[in-house]
Amino acid sequence: MGSASEFTGQTSDRTQQAARSVQESTGQAADTARQAAGKVADTARQTAGQAGDAARQAPEQAMRQTQGNPLAAGLIAFGAGLLTASLLPTSQAEEQAAERAGQAVEPVKQAALESAQQLKEDATQAGRQAAQEVKDTASEAARATKEQAGEQAGHVTEQARRSAQTAAEEARGQTGSPGP
């Protein structure tokens, strides 16, 4: 049988070991949280970059659509000429010509509106998708961190229980009294 000082030393060692284990577990949980936060930040940066790229490409896409249709580009130029001419007083013949041209410009105007609507929908969809990806990544990181923290807490609790049980058994053994 050991002396009380040996028992105290063993108990102190176990307590220090349990404390180190808690510190290690806390450090691991903190590392996991930092990694998850970094992952969320990376995803957010990537998503913001994609949204910026989509916004920068919108004018180019509009130009490509009109370049593929010289008739549409001509009608747009004609419409711009009509606008300039409308600033001057008009004659009856010009009014009739403008009416006919206005009818011709309407399909081009409609096509431009549809193209703008499509660009808006694409940008909105990209934004929603990016937001959902960020949300999903954050949720996964939070779930993983919570799960890991729970596991570590369980390990620490079990280790503390075992240390207490061992210390109690050793104390009973040193005092010579039977256990309950």
Give residue limits of the domains in the chain: 4-144
Question: How far is residue 96 from each of residues 76, 90, 167, measured CA to CA in Å?
Answer: 19, 10, 105
Q: pLDDT at position 51, please? A: 64
Rounded Cα gap, residues 116 and 53, in angstroms: 17
Using alpha carbons, select from 156, 144, 155, 130 the residue that is nearest to residue 34.
Answer: 144
Residue in the structure block whose two tokens are 């620490």: 156
Kindly report, residue by residue over 32-55, the tens digit of the pLDDT.
Answer: 767 776 776 677 677 766 666 665
Kindly report, residue by residue over 107-153, the tens digit of the pLDDT.
Answer: 888 888 888 888 888 888 888 888 888 888 888 888 888 888 888 88
Rounded Cα gap, residues 137 and 91, in angstroms: 66
Average pLDDT over residues 58-80: 68
Q: pLDDT at position 76, please? A: 73
Higher pLDDT: 34 or 156? It is 156
Q: Count of CB atoms within 10 A of residue 45's CB?
A: 10
Q: pLDDT at position 139, please? A: 85
